[in-house]
């Protein structure tokens, strides 16, 4: 009997939320960012968060951003929510999916959102009952791989929380490497654990590049059979409570080049992503990450060869003997 076909890779960009939650950027620019991502071929985008605007002023215009993005069939516009009030706002704004902000560490949960994990799960249960069929409700597992203090986490550390989510019938999860702890062997263990509990199509993984392991982790995710992977244009990311902290996701444009060179069709326009990443970097002050947008793509056709030659002309190459 033939095995079932593997679902295609689904890359989701979270830069409108992760990259802008600690920055003051105009609503028009946020809408343009989402439109640029859609134009490059992204089918899923985390547009904003419906959270307390006093705590995250950078995303206080979430409704206006959702209202300004032109809707297309097959494009999922998604958001983060922290409570039932946020879920109602997301539903009213027409979000396709809302992801609850659930921490995996009790101390961090209290510091980050002002309540314990037990209290968060009680709130999630109320939200599940309210969501109905109007919006897809899932949950982040923040710092699933470890941090912000302490050691890296494995399946044993998450088993109790995962069982409680199953009991709540919340089976769409984002394992978020919020602090950049994840390494490929740890990814193998946690992904295998999560896939056994909820299956391939319900699991999303979001690794961060805080410690330089991002691309290796994305390659490991693909090897593990993960098909839903979060990325962030220009490696952007920040946290409003910790200004200047290294919290960026993996560069969308760098990951797409790597995946394409691995023979994986992402369905994305790398040239458009590079243009968008450079535009976004300028918008944020020129401090974001990325390699391919600076040095160009690895050439795979004549046009890219010409571009690579032009770029070489702008560098002074040291002669070697």
pLDDT tens, residue by residue, 189-248: 999 999 999 999 999 999 999 999 999 999 999 999 999 999 999 999 987 766 556 678
Which residue from 102, 205, 104, 214 is spatially nearest to 150, judged by alpha carbons? 104
Note whether residue 102 is domain-resident. yes
Instruction: Tell me how many domains the chain contains.
Output: 1
End-to-end CA distance of the chain: 60
Q: How many CB atoms lie within 10 A of CB 23?
A: 17
Query: 3-state DSSP call for residue 84?
Result: helix
CA-to-CA distance for 250 and 233, rounded, in angstroms?
8
Note whether residue 296 is domain-resident. no
Note whether residue 301 is domain-resident. no
How far is CA 162 from each of CA 27, 104, 172, 206, rounded to the nearest angstrom?
Answer: 37, 10, 11, 17
CATH, residue 230: 3.20.20.70
Note whether residue 314 is domain-resident. no
Q: Which residues have CB under 8 Å from 46's CB, separation 6+?
A: 12, 13, 14, 16, 17, 18, 78, 79, 80, 99, 230
| pLDDT, tens digit, 9 for 90 and up, residues 198-215 | 999 999 999 999 999 999
Note whether residue 298 is domain-resident. no
User: In whole numbers, what is the pLDDT of the chain averaged over residues?
Assistant: 91
pLDDT at 268 over 50: yes
Note whether residue 58 is domain-resident. yes
70 contacts 35 by C-beta, under 8 angstroms: yes
How far is CA 286 from each of CA 22, 230, 234, 281, 282, rounded to the nearest angstrom?
Answer: 15, 23, 10, 5, 5
194 contacts 203 by C-beta, under 8 angstroms: yes
| pLDDT, tens digit, 9 for 90 and up, residues 46-90 | 999 999 999 899 999 999 999 999 999 999 999 999 999 999 999
248 contacts 209 by C-beta, under 8 angstroms: yes
Note whether residue 241 is domain-resident. yes
Query: Residues 46, 168, 208, CA angle at the centre, nearest 5°?
Result: 35
CA-to-CA distance for 8 and 44, rounded, in angstroms?
13
What per-residue confidence (pLDDT) applies to 150? 82
CA-to-CA distance for 219 and 282, rounded, in angstroms?
28
Note whether residue 173 is domain-resident. yes
Q: Which residues have CB under 8 Å from 18's CB, separation 6+?
A: 46, 232, 236, 237, 238, 247, 248, 249
Query: Which of 27-31, 58-62, 237-241, 290-294 is predicted with the least confidence, judged by mean pLDDT?
Result: 237-241
Is the model more confident about 175 or about 6?
Answer: 175
How far is CA 139 from each of CA 62, 197, 221, 239, rounded to the nearest angstrom?
Answer: 19, 14, 19, 19
Query: 3-state DSSP call for residue 219?
Result: helix
**Residue in the structure block whose two tokens are 């409704």:** 63
CA-to-CA distance for 229 and 38, rounded, in angstroms?
16
Residue 314 backbone phi and psi in degrees, to 5: -95, 0
Q: Which residues have CB under 8 Å from 311's CB, separation 6+?
A: 295, 296
Q: Which residues have CB under 8 Å from 123's CB, separation 6+?
A: 83, 84, 100, 115
Domain with 248 in it: 10-289
Whole-prediction pTM value?
0.92
The whole-number average pLDDT for the span 149-166 is: 94
The whole-number average pLDDT for the span 163-169 is: 98
Bridge partners of residue 45, in order along the sequence: 13, 77
Task: Give CA torsion, residues 137, 139, 140, 142, to 10 deg.
Answer: 150
């Amino acid at each position: 009997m033939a095995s079932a076909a593997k679902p295609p890779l689904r890359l989701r960009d979270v830069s409108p939320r992760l990259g802008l939650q600690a920055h003051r950027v105009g609503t028009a620019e946020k809408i343009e960012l989402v439109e640029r991502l859609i134009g490059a071929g992204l089918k899923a985008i985390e547009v904003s968060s419906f959270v307390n605007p006093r705590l995250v002023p950078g995303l206080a215009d979430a409704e206006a951003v959702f209202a300004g993005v032109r809707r297309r069939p097959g494009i999922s516009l998604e958001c983060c929510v922290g409570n039932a009030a946020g879920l109602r706002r997301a539903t009213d704004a027409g979000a396709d999916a809302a992801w609850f902000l659930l921490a995996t560490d009790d101390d961090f949960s209290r510091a980050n959102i002002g309540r314990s994990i037990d209290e968060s799960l009680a709130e999630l249960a109320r939200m599940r009952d309210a969501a109905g069929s109007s919006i897809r409700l899932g949950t982040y597992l923040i710092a699933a791989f470890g941090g912000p203090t302490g050691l890296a986490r494995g399946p044993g550390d998450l088993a109790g929380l995962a069982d409680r989510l199953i009991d709540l019938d919340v089976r769409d999860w984002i394992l978020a490497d919020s602090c950049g702890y994840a390494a490929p062997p740890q990814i193998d263990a946690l992904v295998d654990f999560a896939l056994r509990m909820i299956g391939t199509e319900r699991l999303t993984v979001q690794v961060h590049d805080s410690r330089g392991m991002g691309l290796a982790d994305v390659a490991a995710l693909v090897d593990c059979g993960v098909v839903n992977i979060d990325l962030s244009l220009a490696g952007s990311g920040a946290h409003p409570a910790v200004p200047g902290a290294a919290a960026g996701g993996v560069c969308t444009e760098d990951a797409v080049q790597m995946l394409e060179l691995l023979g994986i069709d992402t369905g994305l326009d790398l040239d458009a992503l590079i243009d968008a990443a450079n535009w976004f970097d300028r918008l944020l002050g020129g401090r974001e990450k990325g390699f391919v947008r600076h040095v160009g793509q690895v050439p795979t056709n004549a046009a890219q060869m010409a571009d690579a030659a032009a770029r070489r002309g702008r560098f002074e190459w040291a002669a070697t003997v």
